[in-house]
Structure 1
Amino acid sequence: MDVNLKGRRALVTGSSSGLGEAIARLLAAEGADVVVHGRDEARTRKVAEEVGAVAVAIGDLTTDEGADAVAATAGETDILVNNAGAYDHIGWTDATADTWVRTYEVNVVSGVRMIQRLVPGMRGRGWGRVIQIGGGLASQPIAMQPHYNASLAARHNLAVSLARELKDTGVTSNVVAPGAILVDAVERLLTGIAPDHGWGESWEEIERNAARDFVPNDIGRFGRPEEIAGAVAYLASPYADYISGATIRVDGGTIRSVN
């Protein structure tokens, strides 16, 4: 299906690996002029070449200088996908106040920096898309990773506020909320701990049992990066002109809600 992205310029932050790479790859395949962003120049350039990106943006978005450099490379951006972020597996005892501040800076303020730099141009041109990559933990947090849960909630909240701000401008603001997604690091983790949990030996057994124990959902598996990219491509397209301030959950039904 052609989602009519040809000629649209898209910046995907944190697209040198994982979800961001999958999003950049699909947007490029759908005809968008994609700018791949990362902090590791060699890895970012490699991904950019593989996906057919039109530009490579290198910069640390937790600094104004880094954000300025990325925005300058991105230029007149039609689609901003705020994907860059980080998480760790620590709980309340180990997550210090400094950890909370750093997580907010990386996962929230970095995206705000790019919004402030790129959305005014979208408003001026009368069309644009801002898409935050959020997550189910924003609305149904767990005991672990409280600082990360809270940062996801902030991403969801700012997306709705931005949608209200952009009323009648032709620019929309939405969230794609992934569930547990099978990126390379997750597959390595699950395979490594499978013997301790008795999940079996074949990958099919491991995935099914790990999904049952860790992320119970209605599909019985982990999501794939391409499935997140598909939701982003839809929201980035003209087919989503009437959607703003919304969250699309791509989580196999992990989060249960009537809304």
Structure 2
Amino acid sequence: MNLNLIGKRALVTGSSAGLGEATARFLAAEGAGVVVHGRDARRTERVAREIREAGGTADVVVGDLADDDAAAGVARAATAGGPVDILVNNAGSYRHLTWAEATPDEWRDTYDANVVSGVRMIRHLVPAMRERGWGRVVTIGGGLASQPMDAHPQYNATLAARHNLAVSLARELKGTGVTSNVVSPGAILVEATKDFFTGIGPARGWGRTWDEVEPNAVQALIPNDQERFGKPEEVAAAVAYLCGDHAQYISGATIRVDGGLIRSAF
């Protein structure tokens, strides 16, 4: 399927690793010029360099989106090479905390990093999309938005906010040619996920190596129709589809990429 992304420019926030990196690589392979963003210059440059070595087009911007001035700088740098047609709001932070550990300051910091950061980029980049009559905003959410677990409540709540703001934005953008959607991953196998489940594996009797832990973790915590963890590239594929011409009639939607998650057993 030709997504017709050649000539489009995409900023993927938080794309120096994980789902953001996979999304930047996928969009570049589809012909989009990507802006790789991160807070660590070395890691961000590595992703962009590898995209270029694979034949894609990639620029680099570095900055902390939790800061107003730094976020404005990221937006200026991202548009220096041309207007941004696609905004993938992926950047965010995560700490595994209990209710007792999640202080009000932690809640505020997490909300700023995971919600307001995306709002900053929307405010900087979407007005120009509206003027041009074409644009895509894709927010990366998660299943914990609707099925929160008892741990890291500050993070669960920000996912719900991300889903909500994306739908509100879609209503705001009606009739403009700009769409706003959510891609909601389930348990995706990135290094942080692997480290988390391997860390709790021995205490739960799942084993110590990843080969031992994975099937037990899936069965106990994330039962799904595919009986496995997802791959970053599968999330990236959903994002890329929403960015293409074939998805013009999709707005205000949540696309689940979770293997058909049956329940949340956390």
TM-score range normalised by the length of the shorter chain: over 0.9
In 2, Cα distance between the equivalents of 1:58 and 1:255? 38
Matched, 1:177 2:184: yes
Give unpaired runs (5+ residues) of structure 1.
Answer: none
Aligned partner of 1:13 in structure 2 is 13
Q: Is the 2:28–2:58 contact (alpha carbons within 8 Å) kept by the matching residues of 1? A: no
Q: Structure 1 residue 214: deviation in Å?
A: 2.1
Q: Percent identity?
A: 66
Cα distance, 1:88–1:79 mapped onto 2, change above 3 Å: same
Matched, 1:77 2:84: yes
Aligned partner of 2:93 in structure 1 is 86
Q: Structure 1 residue 194: deviation in Å?
A: 3.5
| Equivalent residue runs for 1:15-164 within 5 Å | 15-52=15-52, 53-75=57-79, 76-164=83-171
Residue by residue over 1:165-196, the C-alpha shift from the partner in whole angstroms, topping out at 9 and shown as x without a partner, is: 00100000000000011002222343454444
Give unpaired runs (5+ residues) of structure 2.
Answer: none
DSSP 3-state at the match of 1:93: coil
Q: Is the 2:222–2:262 contact (alpha carbons within 8 Å) kept by the matching residues of 1? A: no
Q: Is the 2:188–2:232 contact (alpha carbons within 8 Å) kept by the matching residues of 1? A: yes
Q: Structure 1 residue 134: deviation in Å?
A: 0.3
In 2, Cα distance between the equivalents of 1:191 and 1:103? 25
Q: Please, what TM-score do these two structures have when normalized by structure 1?
A: 0.94
Q: Residue type matched to 2:42 in 1?
A: A
In 2, Cα distance between the equivalents of 1:139 and 1:41? 34
In 1, Cα distance between the equivalents of 2:48 and 2:133? 28
Q: Residue type matched to 1:29 in 2?
A: A
Q: Residue type matched to 1:74 in 2?
A: A
Q: Residue type matched to 2:194 in 1?
A: E
In 2, Cα distance between the equivalents of 1:204 and 1:253? 22
RMSD of aligned Cα (Å): 1.5
Residue by residue over 1:34-87, the C-alpha shift from the partner in whole angstroms, topping out at 9 and shown as x without a partner, is: 000001011110111112342101111011111111111211100000000011
Q: Structure 1 residue 143: deviation in Å?
A: 1.2
In 1, Cα distance between the equivalents of 2:101 and 2:125? 36
Tell which deviates more after alignment, 10-19 or 141-150: 141-150
In 1, Cα distance between the equivalents of 2:199 and 2:68? 39
Cα distance, 1:186–1:101 mapped onto 2, change above 3 Å: same
Residue by residue over 1:98-152, the C-alpha shift from the partner in whole angstroms, topping out at 9 and shown as x without a partner, is: 0110000000000000000000110011000000000111111111111111101
Matched, 1:220 2:227: yes
Tell which deviates more after alignment, 138-147 or 96-105: 138-147
